[in-house]
Amino acid sequence: MPPNPSHGAMNFSLPEDLQNYLTEIDKFIATKIAPLQASNDNERFFDHRREHARTNWDNQGLPRDEWEDLLAEARRLADEAGFYRFCLPEEFGGKNGGNLWMAAIRMHLAKKGLGLFNDLQNEHSIVGNFPDVLMVKEFGTQAQKEKFITGRLEGKVGFAFGLTEPDHGSDATHMSTRAERFRKDGVDGWKINGRKMWISGIHKATHCITFVRTHGKAGDALGITALIVPKATPGFEIESYEWTFNMPTDHATLKLTDVFVPDSAILGKVGHGLPIAQTFVHENRLRQAASSLGAAEYCIEESIKYARKRKPFGKELSTNQSIQFPLVELSTQAAMLNLLILKTATEMDGMTQKEIERDLGDRVSMCNYWGNRLCTQSADQAMQIHGGIGYSRHKAFEHIYRHHRRYRITEGSEEIQMRKVAAYLFGYVGRRKAELSKL
């Protein structure tokens, strides 16, 4: 009797309820978001005028108010419809969305190309990502949760994340920004001195979660503390906004001179701030990878369609192997990465943070560095296949390239991700540490 082919078979399909949810999202986009994008010449933020329309060149290159107001309205509509807080716990109005669902949603939205529904240049999406909320939920006091989580979701409070410094990026344990014990007007607290760089969103934020060294020496993981610093605090100065490959900018350099905060500003425990900075890093890196994959698939699909329609010298462009083979390579990589992302996300949903770090940290890094690289390669190839029009701003490829190119540096650079994979591969950390240490 032949074996039952269904016995023990793995199911590689997305769950039916997840597929139905993607359909609901599409309906919402068609009925609410697309009409908003089509009104009042809002298309200028997405067509060939997009960089100019979004950027206030005379105000430090910051986003124009009209652009940010439009994004806020899209988020309001999404929140009203129940999509925006999807990944948050039910207590905050969310649906406890897990990693598999968030990865699938991110891929799905990014694969649609540019649009008001999902514009990742500034991490905008109708299905939001809330690492700051989850950070306060995990480490905050009850008073901090009541003030900052509620305020954040109501739009009254906004966070920036102050980790990177002018002389210290990936080497966070060597940060120069310091805080020392200080008493001011009878209140115990901390006096902060130092500088931070590439602090995104500070122009709109009310507070900056600032990481400082409170004790220990450079290179120590212990001794770094997270402090919630109000932007309006005396001595908190925005020195400049750095213009980047993709404008507008919201990436600031900060200077903190004798900035005082009370003990109530401490997030988590004194000296244990680095784990806070690394909280949800796996979730964020996987979601970033999913977005990059979706954008890559958009570039690949647009290139396929163009190559079939374009007929130079009387025959379809797609008949040339010089067109076929690069797209075959990219499509193969995209298909394999899709499976790795979804498999990794599924496994993460059944693990604790500690288990994820021990057993899946390398897989998350694989997804992240390869997804971001694949996206830029796909956008570059799309430009080449489309020729002059591909190089122009009348197609989305240059924007996708410029935006996703930064992901090969931020959230842990490509080299940091590869180094992490190597640590697992050779057993310096992770599930094979005991086995390979015996060799």
Q: Is 21 helix (H, G, I), strand (E, B) or coil?
A: helix
Each residue of 337-361: pLDDT tens digit?
999 999 999 999 999 988 999 999 9
pLDDT at residue 3, rounded to an integer = 46
Mean pLDDT along residues 190-203: 97
Share of the chain above pLDDT 70, in %: 98
Structure tokens at 96: 């406890």
- Residue 394 reports pLDDT greater than 60: yes
Instruction: Categorize the per-residue pLDDT at 410 as very low, low, confident or very high, splitting at 50, 70 and 90.
Output: confident
User: pLDDT for 288-331, tens place per residue?
Assistant: 999 999 999 999 999 999 999 999 999 999 999 999 999 999 99
Share of the chain above pLDDT 90, in %: 89
pLDDT at residue 9, as a whole number = 54
Backbone angles phi, psi at 229, to 5 degrees: -105, 120
Query: Is the pLDDT reported for residue 5 higher than 60?
Result: no
Q: Which residues contact 293 (CB under 8 A, 6 or more apart)?
A: 107, 110, 334, 337, 338, 341, 371, 374, 375
pLDDT beyond 90 at 382: yes
Residues 229, 148: Cα–Cα separation, whole Å: 12
Burial 304-329 (b: 16+ CB within 10 A, else e): bebbeebeeeeeebbeeeebeebbee
CA torsion angle 244 250 253 259 (round to 10): -170
- What is the Cα–Cα distance from 245 to 56, expressed in whole angstroms? 15
pLDDT at 208 over 70: yes
